[in-house]
Amino acid sequence: MTRHAALAARYGTPLYVYDLDEVALARHELFTALPDGAELFYAFKANPHPELARALREGGERGCRAEISSTGELAAALTAGYRAEECLYTGPGKTIGELHEAIGRGVRVFSTDSVTDVRRVGAVAAAHGVVADCLLRINSADASATTSIRMTGTPSQFGFDSETLAEAMPSLRRADGVRLAGMHLFPLSNARDEDALIGEFEHTIELAARLSAALELPLRLLDIGGGFTAPYGVPGRRGSYPNLRDRLETALDRHLPGWRSGAPRIAFESGRFLVGAAGTLVTEVSNVKISRGRRYVIVDAGINTFGGMSGLGRLMPVAVALELEPDGPTERGTLVGPLCTPGDLLGREIALPADLEPGDLVEIPNTGAYGVTASLLMFLGRPAPLEVLLRSGEVVSASRIEHHRSHQPVPYARTVVEAGALG
């Protein structure tokens, strides 16, 4: 009997179950590891479900702000109770249309990646009779950490190259409708160990201070990114950062001594650390077959349900592992989904319960981040999985993303299956 068998019987499969108590615990752990007074942005790309985002906003001074990169994520943030002025709008390809919508709805802080980007934000802000704050995203020429997903130190669509920023400053200062308000650096994702993460943050702080002084660049807000680790589709726990606070405070005191009084404000951002461990994907076995001596377990959740960003070149390939009973018999096999493609693969030759048969349930842990909205959701026209949220073991809401074809452009809708706190 799996942990969520009753929910699967009630709602069907495939089914995502999110534990809001786990979300609150992750938020508490991360704020505790960061310097006092630091701000924390939740990266909506990890999971834009409004109830998850709402749980992260709660907590008073230790509530998250929103990092968004589309008008769809802005809509989700507003639904979750975030104010538009709390949002940081990022992304290298902001269009005139989406800027009009974002600024018209009250967004005032943007991370910008080029002179054109700054000018475009300014032109739209001026058209609305307001001034927008621009953080300059910096692509550092070098880096500290050598592991994890690199986001800096190479040619990129993200950010101003640090070595040529001085050449761009005259144009940036002349841009109408904007105020240069600080910097945004995001050098890596999913750092493999605390020392690597700290080293990257220390390098980032030193670089920001040096650029600010050399270029006379105002530094009201400094967002130094994230990189906090959490497992993805496999058993395990979030990263632990016992030394992070002290080391960061030392670096900030050395390079930006006014930070304790808010000059500058220091911000971090996180997605998977905050919501990854809160999610479990429950899927039902459709068939078990042997092909030329190999065992295949076919389930009703495939890469259309848990795709590992498969629509984005599978930057985070699916390679799941299950939490198994300590003394239960196991047998290796390949876990696959129901789609008509050999690419619908969740785990190749992994340990699986030996007695699995059609109708049994399989639970994939740590699937709260990069799940539904990072998958090939519309591939083969299968319905989206249901998403159920729990607090203290009780159902808060149950909903499913629905797609509609229309002659007029419409965003995706979320159909509420069971009323609850969902706004």
Which domains occur in the chain, in start order?
A: 5-15+277-418 (2.40.37.10), 20-272 (3.20.20.10)
Residue 325's pLDDT is 82
SS3 173: helix
User: How far is 158 from 146, CA to CA, in rounded Å?
Assistant: 19
Residue 312's pLDDT is 46
Residue 61 has pLDDT above 80, yes or no: no
146 pLDDT band, cuts 50/70/90, is: very low
Mean pLDDT of 277-300: 96
* DSSP code of residue 153: S
Question: Which residues does residue 332 pair with via DSSP β-bridges, in sequence order?
Answer: 351
Residue 357's pLDDT is 95
Distance of CA 58 to the CA centre of its chain: 18
148 pLDDT band, cuts 50/70/90, is: very low
Which of 37-46, 56-65, 112-121, 165-174 has the lowest average pLDDT?
Answer: 56-65
Mean pLDDT of 179-208: 92
Burial bucket for residue 358 (CB in 10 Å: 0-12, 13-18, 19+): exposed
Residue 75's pLDDT is 97
263 pLDDT band, cuts 50/70/90, is: very high
Mean pLDDT of 391-414: 81
Residue 24 has pLDDT above 60, yes or no: yes
For residue 331, the surrounding DSSP H or E stretch is strand 330-336
User: How far is 173 from 176, CA to CA, in rounded Å?
Assistant: 8
Dump the DSSP string for 301-325: --TTTS-SSGGGT-SS---------
Mean pLDDT of 258-272: 97
Mean pLDDT, the chain, integer: 90
Mean pLDDT of 38-55: 97
SS3 253: helix
Mean pLDDT of 334-362: 93
Sign of the C-alpha dihedral computed for residues 80, 422, 309 and 32 taken in this order: positive
Q: What is the pLDDT of residues 69-78, one digit of tens each?
A: 999 999 999 9
By the 8 A CB rule, do 388 and 7 touch? yes
Residue 269's pLDDT is 96
Residue 143's pLDDT is 55
User: How far is 84 from 46, CA to CA, in rounded Å?
Assistant: 19
* DSSP code of residue 175: -
Within 8 A by CB and 6+ apart from 251, the residues are 201, 202, 205, 206
User: Residue 32's CB: how many other CB atoms inside 10 A?
Assistant: 11
By the 8 A CB rule, do 361 and 13 touch? yes
Sign of the C-alpha dihedral computed for residues 22, 27, 30 and 36 taken in this order: negative
Within 8 A by CB and 6+ apart from 175, the residues are 115, 118, 119, 122
152 pLDDT band, cuts 50/70/90, is: low
Percent of the chain whose pLDDT exceeds 70:
90
5 pLDDT band, cuts 50/70/90, is: very high
16 pLDDT band, cuts 50/70/90, is: very high
Closest CA to 72 of 106, 49, 39: 49
Most confident of 83-97, 144-158, 181-195: 83-97
User: How far is 168 from 109, CA to CA, in rounded Å?
Assistant: 20
By the 8 A CB rule, do 145 and 199 touch? yes
Mean pLDDT of 81-105: 96
Residue 164 has pLDDT above 80, yes or no: yes
Residue 369 has pLDDT above 70, yes or no: yes
By the 8 A CB rule, do 30 and 22 touch? no
β-strands 294-299, 330-336 pairing:
parallel
Backbone phi, psi, residue 13, to 5°: -130, 160
Helices 244-255/20-33 angle, 10° precision = 50
User: How far is 346 from 321, CA to CA, in rounded Å?
Assistant: 9
Residue 282 has pLDDT above 50, yes or no: yes
Which of 114-123, 144-153, 295-304 has the lowest average pLDDT?
Answer: 144-153
